[in-house]
């Protein structure tokens, strides 16, 4: 594994940080392509990227600090100011809130924009999981399967061969991105599909990870994944009903 890619004047640049930057840039490019298709100003993709970065990184850090502080009793502020420690779902919530604010400020309609960013989010998340793999974070349980991998420099280190759950989720998310791109013109609410598929994949992959259950035998990511499935499906059904109602009136 390669947790540190290089150093600049003694400051380490992690492979995860590089992959995170690539994820934001690639996601912005995909979103700009979709914005052209939706007759939205593609130049705003870069502007909204700044909202996504600030809200996403801030939300992921805040969520992680609160979660770890509640679990371990460590001081919240010291956790918040640490260089390490982010959580994707915190980034999803924070980034969504920040981009929604950006839509209001810049006069961008939220629903078509959400359709533009759905495939971009799936690709960006998949690239982020490659970063997790390279630094040896978020791996799974011990396995004897031939593709099991040890992370001697991981976080935490392990010499046992474990499930590379980062790669499992990466493959799932690239598949989700391909499906969303194919359905981008026909889906009543593409962002709802992203939420549901994202949550569904994480829920099942989580069985192979090492997070402790928090309630009813399910881990915290599984509960969040289930919530995303329910929320995304409900939103998708709502917009499908709205679209069908619109067609009925037009007749």
CA distances (Å), origin 137, targets 79, 131, 185, 211: 18, 9, 36, 12
Rg, Å, the chain Cα set: 19
198 SS3 class: helix
Q: What is the DSSP letter of 214?
A: E
Average pLDDT over residues 32-59: 86
pLDDT digits (tens, 9 = 90+) for 111-135: 888 999 999 999 999 999 998 899 8
pLDDT at 56: 84
pLDDT at 236 over 80: yes
pTM: 0.87
The predicted structure's pLDDT at residue 198: 95
Give, in degrees to the nearest 5, the angle at Cα 36 between 35 and 38: 60
Domain positions in the chain are: 4-40+109-250
**Mean pLDDT on 216-238:** 94
**Residue the block writes with tokens 């600049």:** 8
Round to whole Å and give the CA distance between 215 and 66. 18
**C-alpha span between 3 and 98 (Å, rounded):** 29
Return the percentage of the chain with pLDDT > 70, whole number. Answer: 93
Distance (Å, whole) CA 91 – CA 108:
21
- pLDDT tens-place string over residues 4-24: 776 777 777 778 888 888 998
């Amino acid at each position: 594994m390669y947790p540190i890619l290089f150093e600049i004047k003694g400051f380490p640049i992690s492979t995860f940080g590089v992959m995170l930057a690539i994820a934001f840039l690639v996601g912005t490019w995909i979103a700009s392509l979709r914005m052209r298709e939706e007759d939205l100003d593609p130049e705003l993709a870069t502007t909204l990227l700044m909202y996504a970065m600030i809200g996403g990184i801030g939300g992921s850090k805040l969520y992680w600090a609160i979660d770890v502080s509640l679990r371990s009793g460590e001081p919240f502020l010291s956790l918040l100011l640490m260089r390490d420690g982010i959580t994707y779902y915190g980034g999803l919530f924070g980034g969504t809130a920040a981009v929604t604010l950006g839509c209001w400020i810049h006069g961008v309609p939220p629903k078509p924009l959400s359709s533009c960013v759905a495939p971009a989010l799936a690709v960006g998340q998949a690239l982020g999981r490659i970063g997790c793999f390279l630094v040896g974070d978020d791996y799974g349980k011990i396995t004897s399967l031939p593709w099991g991998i040890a992370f001697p420099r991981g976080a935490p280190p392990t010499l046992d061969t474990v499930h590379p759950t980062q790669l499992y989720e990466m493959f799932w998310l690239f598949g989700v991105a391909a499906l969303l791109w194919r359905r981008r013109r026909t889906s009543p609410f593409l962002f709802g599909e992203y939420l549901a598929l994202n949550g569904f994949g994480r829920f099942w992959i989580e069985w192979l990870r090492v997070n402790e259950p928090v309630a009813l035998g399910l881990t915290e990511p599984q509960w969040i994944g289930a919530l995303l499935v329910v929320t995304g499906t409900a939103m998708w059904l709502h917009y499908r009903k709205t679209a069908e109602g619109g067609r009925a009136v037009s007749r």
